[in-house]
Amino acid sequence: MILLIAGLFGVITGWLDLNALNQAGDVVSDLFIRMLKLISLPIIFFALVSTLSGMGEASEVKRLGGQVLKYTVITTLIAATVALVLYLFIAPAGKAGALAGAAEPSGPSGSYWPYLLGVIPASFIEPFYTHNVMGVLFLALLLSAAIMALEKRHKTVLHAFFDSMFAAIMKMTGLILKLMPLAVWAFVNQFIHDLQSQKILQDLGLYLMCVVLANIVQAGLMLPLLLRFKGISPWQTMRAMWPALTVAFFAKSSAAALPYAVDCAEKNMGVQSKVARFSLPLCITVNMNACAAFILITVLFVSQSNGVLFSPLELLSWIIIASIAAIGNAGVPMGCYMLSSAFLAAMGVPLQLLVIILPFYALIDMLESAINVWSDSCVTALVNADLLPAMELAEGENQVEHNGSDPT
């Protein structure tokens, strides 16, 4: 509510076009962008490392975790791909901008090898001071893989360290977000002051339609197709998980719906307890289909609206980047929005339009939370279908061994 009030005040002061207020808005917006850039790459790095380094290592945990991560990666990549296809079709930033990326790549011309080699930095700190987002992602994945391969005692210490660092960065983020109403006023004031036509409003409407439609296609078509492929009824799964989806929608939180999701999975879907109680908490952390779609569409829309051009390879690479970012989101409040701003700030893209999107994010967040829980439920159902025969066989063998050892 306070953000809506700040936005409304920005509309009023923007139309009044007072020089003193315009200068104040410029100062506030510049300071806010500087603070976002300050935390942009650390958020991406520590979110990924703290999440991935906490994966289990016992054999059963590996087996369950491997299945969950497999379907998490599959569904997240599908969500990002659907988002890119819809973005290119709807072209909220304008058809010309989308086509220009194919004609004038922003990466190196003639060969993509320099661009691909740039993903691997020459030193550990280089991607941070050069704002190389792909380099930061590469370092985070490499370091996470190394930590997961360590002995348990080293792994525990390092995971605690990076988890604490991520908590500290998010505490900084929380302090910066307290200035969000002032920033919304400043950016909306600038937006209204600079508004020369209705085109940006039309583009914003197309952007919102693109985000919503990408989520609906993922939830209503792609995930049910995966369930059908495994012989699972999407309709029965939806009915079984409906109470948890309702809680997620109105609470705007996947974590808040977790107890309901576990209960519905065990009692209504018939998922084995060990699967439900392992898969759903892990999915709440790493499986965020709607977040991948939001990051991809938002970053491309804001970038292209500010004249940034993308080559075909760069557009395709955003499927991977958005998927990795969504998996490493770690359930942070407003995580999708903050990661989008982190990418844009690291790319040097002006963030005024992103702040204009903020008042609409509350509504988007409700839909995304429900769809994330629906995706978690689908992944859990798929994992249960894969592991159920092996679990029943193992239980049968254990029962036979137990009976055979009884004295008769």
Q: Could you tell me the pTM of the whole model?
A: 0.70
Q: What is the mean pLDDT of the chain?
A: 79
Residue 60 has what pLDDT?
Answer: 55
Residue 394 confidence (pLDDT) above 70: no
Residue-wise pLDDT for 125-170, tens only, equals: 888 877 776 788 788 878 888 888 888 888 889 988 988 988 888 7
Mean pLDDT of 337-350: 82
Q: What percent of the chain has pLDDT over 70?
A: 80
Residue 238 confidence (pLDDT) above 70: yes
Q: Which residue has the higher pLDDT, 195 or 386?
A: 386
Mean pLDDT of 241-264: 82
Mean pLDDT of 73-92: 94
Give the whole-angstrom CA distance, residue 315 versus residue 262: 37
Give the whole-angstrom CA distance, residue 218 versus residue 152: 38
Q: Which residue has the higher pLDDT, 406 or 219?
A: 219
Residue 118 has what pLDDT?
Answer: 65
Q: What is the 3-state secondary structure (H, E, C) of the chain?
A: CHHHHHHHHHHHHHHHCCHHHHHHHHHHHHHHHHHHHHHHHHHHHHHHHHHHCCCCCCHHHHHHHHHHHHHHHHHHHHHHHHHHHHHHHHCCCCHHHHHHHHHCCCCCCCCCHHHHHCCCCCCCCHHHHCCCHHHHHHHHHHHHHHHHCCCHHHHHHHHHHHHHHHHHHHHHHHHHHCCHHHHHHHHHHHHHHHCCCCHHHHHHHHHHHHHHHHHHHHHHHHHHHHHHHCCCCHHHHHHHHHHHHHHHHHHCCCCCCHHHHHHHHHHCCCCCHHHHHHHHHHHHHHCCHHHHHHHHHHHHHHHHHCCCCCCHHHHHHHHHHHHHHHHCCCCCCCHHHHHHHHHHHHHCCCCHHHHHHHHHHHHHHHHHHHHHHHHHHHHHHHHHHHHHHHHHHHHHHHHHHHHHHCCC
Tell me which of 85-89, 93-97, 268-272 is least confident: 93-97
Banded pLDDT at 102 (limits 50, 70, 90): very low
Residue-wise pLDDT for 261-319, tens only, equals: 888 998 899 998 888 887 887 787 778 899 999 999 999 999 998 888 888 888 999 99
Residue 332 confidence (pLDDT) above 60: no
Residue 340 confidence (pLDDT) above 60: yes
Residue 103 has what pLDDT?
Answer: 37
Mean pLDDT of 102-126: 56
Q: Which amino acid is at 164?
A: S
| pLDDT winner (highest mean) among 35-39, 131-135, 194-198, 343-347 | 343-347
Backbone angles phi, psi at 365, to 5 degrees: -65, -35
Banded pLDDT at 406 (limits 50, 70, 90): low
Banded pLDDT at 99 (limits 50, 70, 90): very low
Banded pLDDT at 200 (limits 50, 70, 90): low
Residue 95 has what pLDDT?
Answer: 53
Mean pLDDT of 342-349: 82
Q: Which residue has the higher pLDDT, 209 or 189?
A: 209
Residue 96 confidence (pLDDT) above 70: no
Q: Which residue has the higher pLDDT, 81 or 154?
A: 81
Residue 217 has what pLDDT?
Answer: 96
